[in-house]
Every structure is written in C-alpha cells, then in structure tokens.
Structure 1
Amino acid sequence: MGIHQISFAKVSVLSNDIVEITVDSGVDITLDMVNELHHLLLSLFSGSFSLLINKSNSYSTQLDALIHFGTLPTIDKIAIFAPNKLAKMSAEFSASIPSSATLNIEVFSERDDALSWLQ
C-alpha cells in the first residue's frame, strides 16, 4: 500500500482505510508536526479512515499538539499499540484529552489485537 516518511514519523498505509503511524524515537511532537501529519493523511484518504498509533518508540507530545491531533474530522477510530507499561500510561493520558473525548480510541498491548479491532 505504501510507506511515507515525514519529518518525525513513518506512516504506513495498511489498507484503503487504515494507516499506521510510528513516531521516531526521541521526538517531541509539536503543533507544526501534527499539521504535517494531517496534511499527509488528507492527501492519502478521500474519506474517513482509522489510525493505528504504534508506540513502540519512546517520544513525547506537546499539549497543544495533542489537543489538535484529535480535531481531524475524517478520523474514524484510533487504536493505540502500547507494548509496555509506560507507553500504556502515555496512551491512556492522550486518550483522556478533551479533544479526544469524541473519538473512538482503544489501547492495546498487542499490535494484532489493535489491527483486528480497527477492521
């Protein structure tokens, strides 16, 4: 389907409505980075789509970026693959942000479970 490298992450199109985002290790995600990601996603999908956020790398996200991330109206569901305790805590905090409240977000410790839920 295709792999796209942006300034801070690898974006892999897994199907016609599912994309996996793997942020590079050590990145601090800013609002500009979220805008870069949104621009790519809107260029890849004409309708709604779901995200698999792969938290296998350690990174941080600035609060304004986290709030803005959930505002893209074409996002259907978000599965977060959090393979360890710290990633799970971070994912659960991200899912609790008010702009994320209207999104359908689930956190999984197994990537295959996250993918199955998206499908």
Structure 2
Amino acid sequence: MEIHQISFAKVGILSHDLAEITVDNGADITLSMVNELHQLLLSLFSESFSLLINKTNSYSTQLDALIHFGTLPAIDKIAVFAPNKLAKMSADFSATIPSSNALNIEVFTERDDALVWLIDKKSSAAGHNYLW
C-alpha cells in the first residue's frame, strides 16, 4: 500500500479511488491542516474518491476545520472507523455538521464493515483492486 505522510496524518491509498486517513495521536486539526489534506488528495486522485477515516488515535478537530473538511467536491463517500465509544460519539457529531450533511457518511465500529460498505457503494464499477 502506498502511504503518504502529511504534517498530522498518514494517508494510505487502498485503490484508485479510495484512501484511508489515520490522524496522528494528539493532533489538533486546524483549517490549514485540512487544506493540506485536500491538496494531497487532489494530487492523488484525478476523479471522485471515497475516504475511510480511521479514528484509532485520539485527536481533536477545530470547528472551522470540521466544517471545511466536507466541502471538497471530489469526496464521494466517507466511512468512519470508530473502534471505541468516544471515537463513535465524535464521529456521530461530526456527521451532523451542515457541510457533512451533504455527504454520504456512515460510522462503523469495525474497520472491515466500513470497507465493505465503501466497496458495496462502488460495486457498479467492476474491476476495482482494493489493497487491504
């Protein structure tokens, strides 16, 4: 799997239209960090793509950053892997942000379930090679 390190996270490329984002433990995500992530994603994908947000680590996101995250038009779907109660509460809250409401977001407590959901949503396009 191809992995890209940015200032606050690792971005793993799972397929030609799917990336997994794992934020560093203890990070406080700002608007400029979201812009950094958006720039990376747009450089990696030429068409729309989906994201797996891996909330294994504990981190915080400033409200303006959270609002801005969901405004990138190229994002197709987002699955959030929230392995514990606090991560799930945080993910559920994030999904209620107005810019997130326009996105197709689902929260899962199992990573494999999140990946299955993302792939099922893409099943109309055959021949994808997923690398997990």
Q: Establish whether TM, by shorter chain, passes 0.5.
A: yes
Give the superposition deviation at 1:115.
0.5
CA deviation after TM superposition for structure 1 residue 114, in Å: 0.2
Instruction: Name the structure 2 match of 1:18.
Output: 18
Cα distance in 1 for partners of 2:44, 2:118 equals 18
- Cα distance in structure 1, aligned partners of 2:118 and 2:30: 26
Aligned-partner residue type, residue 74 of structure 2 = T
Taking the TM superposition and a 5 Å limit, the aligned residue runs for 1:1-119 are 1-119=1-119
CA distance in 2, matches of 1:53, 1:112: 12
Where does structure 1 lack aligned partners over 5 or more consecutive residues?
Answer: none
Which SS does the other structure have where 1:100 is aligned? helix
Distance 1:79 1:38 in 2: 17
Distance 1:11 1:97 in 2: 23
What value does the CA root-mean-square deviation take over the aligned residues?
0.5
2:2 maps to amino acid: G
Which digits, 9 at most, give the CA deviation of each residue in 1:25-73, with x for residues without a partner? Answer: 0000000000000000000000000000000000000000000000000
Q: Secondary structure at the match of 2:40?
A: helix
How many angstroms does 1:6 deviate by? 0.2
Give the letter aligned to residue 48 of structure 2.
S
1:64-116 CA distance string (max 9 Å, x none)? 00000000000000000000000000000000000101000000000000001
Greater than 6 Å deviation, 4+ residue runs: none
Aligned AA (2:51)? L
Identity, % of aligned positions:
82
Question: Gapped runs of 5+ residues in structure 2?
Answer: 120-132
Kindly tell me the number of residue pairs found equivalent between the two proteins.
119
Give the TM-score of the pair, scaled to structure 1.
0.99
